[in-house]
Amino acid sequence: MRLFIAIPMSGEMKDALGRMQRQMRDQRIAGRFTPPENLHLTLAFIGEYPNPDAVFLPRVKPFAIELDGFGSFGDLWWAGLKPCPPLRRYVLALRHALAYDNIPFDRKKFSPHITLLRGGVGVPALTVPRAEMVVDHVSLMRSDRGKRGMIYTELRASEPWDPAWDDG
């Protein structure tokens, strides 16, 4: 199974990301646009791994993420996020847990982005809409190739945070 851990996007965030994609289409930017149901923020890419039950998902103390900017990695265009220390701390804890459990994952530097388009031809001029969402869980996802592209399936979500754990 091809696995990754991600933050699924809220409806408001999907709407904002969809507006960015429409701006790209309106400018005749070509490529494979990420379908709304596949929009996510990857926290750790595990890749081929036979035992999803062995993957531990630390609980998420809720925090907010907010869209900010866009960019590209070659022909892949993405939406960026405002700097978010709680997100960085969570990713560090998640990757530490994966390493501790000997779960293989891609160890390249975490660069938070949400993929909008692959194989993009052209340089878009985008206005990034204001959009924010509260992250209160992460999901272990499976990735499968379908007839029309990738199909992402949530295998399970992290357990909810208990406010009684907060020390103020």
Q: What is the pLDDT of residues 5-17, one digit of tens each?
A: 999 999 999 999 9
Average pLDDT, the chain: 93
Q: How confident is the model at residue 122 (pLDDT cuts 50, 70, 90)?
A: confident
CA distances from 157 to 83, 104, 137 (A): 24, 19, 6
Report the amino acid identity of residue 84.
C
Which of 54-58, 100-104, 163-167 has the weakest average pLDDT? 163-167
Q: Flag whether pLDDT at 163 surpasses 90.
A: no
pLDDT in tens, 73-97: 988 999 999 999 999 999 999 999 9
Q: Flag whether pLDDT at 165 surpasses 80.
A: no
Give the neighbor-by-neighbor strand order of the sheet with 30-33.
30-33, 113-121, 76-81, 63-73, 132-135
Task: Check residue 22 and give its pLDDT.
Answer: 95
Catalytic residue among 13, 113, 115, 140: 113
Is position 137 annotated as part of the catalytic site? no
Q: Flag whether pLDDT at 167 surpasses 70.
A: no
Catalytic residue among 16, 23, 40, 94: 40
Task: Check residue 94 and give its pLDDT.
Answer: 97
CA distances from 26 to 62, 124, 125 (A): 36, 10, 10
Q: Flag whether pLDDT at 168 surpasses 60.
A: no
Q: 2-162 is classed in which CATH architecture? A: Alpha-Beta Complex (3.90)
C-beta separation of 34 from 135 below 8 A = no
Return the structure tokens found at 47.
């890749």
Return the structure tokens found at 20.
């960015």
